[in-house]
Chains A and B, each alone.
Chain A
Amino acid sequence: MAYNNCRTKEKSMMREKIENRAMEILQQHGLFSLPIDPVKLANKEGIKVHNAAFSDESVSGMVARRGQNITMLVNQSDPPYRKRFSIAHELGHHFLHLTEDGEIVTKKIDLFRVYIKPEDEENEEKRRDVEANQFAAALLMPESLVKEIYKKTESLTEMAQLFNVSEEAMGIRLEVLRLI
């Protein structure tokens, strides 16, 4: 029981850290206004973002780092909302995990998972994906802005339009922030 409480607290602290990091990055680049533009952020970071066709259709994106050369690929057949989220997700990997040369591939099925299942806690890859998702959500839907706008309108559709995200992503965000 005490172990579980400790893990929950740890996870919540990690989420808070990611929220703050995303906020800092947005403010640093002067992009803290709606709708958040992840392509602009990527370009300001010197990251090239390209459309790509993958042999495995379940791949939504990948990011690779070779020294100062960082490139992101997103699935060209994905709709704009999904691409936005994929780019924000890959930015999460860039800021949180890709500190040295390497590459990360993201599958569609992992895109909206914001909590790690107990059985996956030791799985490094899944943990990184969950963190990147938390970062993407925090980047595209900053907590302070979501809370501020939620006071004015409780319409999920309107909020999704304002933040330029899918209603599904906005719904999950409101739930994570305990607004619904």
Chain B
Amino acid sequence: MPQSILDTFSQFKGQVEEIGSAVTSDDIDTYRQIREIEDKSYKLKIVLDAWKAQKKEERKWRNIYAGVLLGFLFIQIVVVNVSFFLIGAGKLKVEEWVANTFIIAVFGEVASMTLVIVRYLFPKTGEEFPKIIEGL
């Protein structure tokens, strides 16, 4: 507590418990504080809108990719099943190693496509957005 101020108010020692920092123009400028809050909320709204638009667009493309990939998988599975039964019924004749390789290759293809869909089209939700908000 500055001594000179204490001396000035020596008569009010009982009433003045503590003398704090000097009051600045910014401390009492409520209008500026409101404006800052409004600016921040405006920026946040813009970021949020952009974020929502980006997410919507991403979801749209993910749906398209996932649809196309799942379509291919379905065709592959139908082809491999039909081939399997045709080979079993003796209507399609191929070498044993060709049939084995074909079935294993299709199985591998299905597994890797599923991995691609799960891993890259549905990534874990990160902390990207909270970080953007913190930066505002």
A interface residues (Cβ-Cβ under 8 A, vs B): 35, 37-40, 48-56, 59, 62, 64, 66, 69, 71, 73-74, 76, 79-81, 83-84, 87, 103, 105, 161-162, 164
Contact = CB atoms under 8 A, between A and B. Distances in A.
A98 B110 CA distance: 90
Interface string B5-40: 101110110111111111111011111011000000
6 contacts: A37-B29, A53-B18, A55-B14, A64-B11, A79-B30, A80-B29
Main secondary structure of the interface of B (DSSP, over half): mixed
Given A50-B23, A69-B4, 13 more contacts: A39-B27, A48-B5, A51-B22, A51-B23, A52-B20, A54-B17, A59-B15, A64-B12, A66-B7, A73-B9, A103-B8, A103-B9, A105-B12
Contacts of A71: 4-5, 8-9
Contacts of B7: 66
B30 A80 contact: yes
Interface of B: 2, 4-5, 7-9, 11-12, 14-25, 27-31, 33-34
Given A84-B28, A105-B15, A64 B8 contact: yes
A16 to B, nearest CB: 28
Nearest to A82: B28
Contacts, number: 94
Nearest to A103: B11
B89 to A, nearest CB: 84
Given A37-B25, A103-B9, A164 B30 contact: yes
Contacts of A52: 16-20
Contacts of A74: 23
A3 to B, nearest CB: 38
Nearest to B22: A50
A73 to B, nearest CB: 7
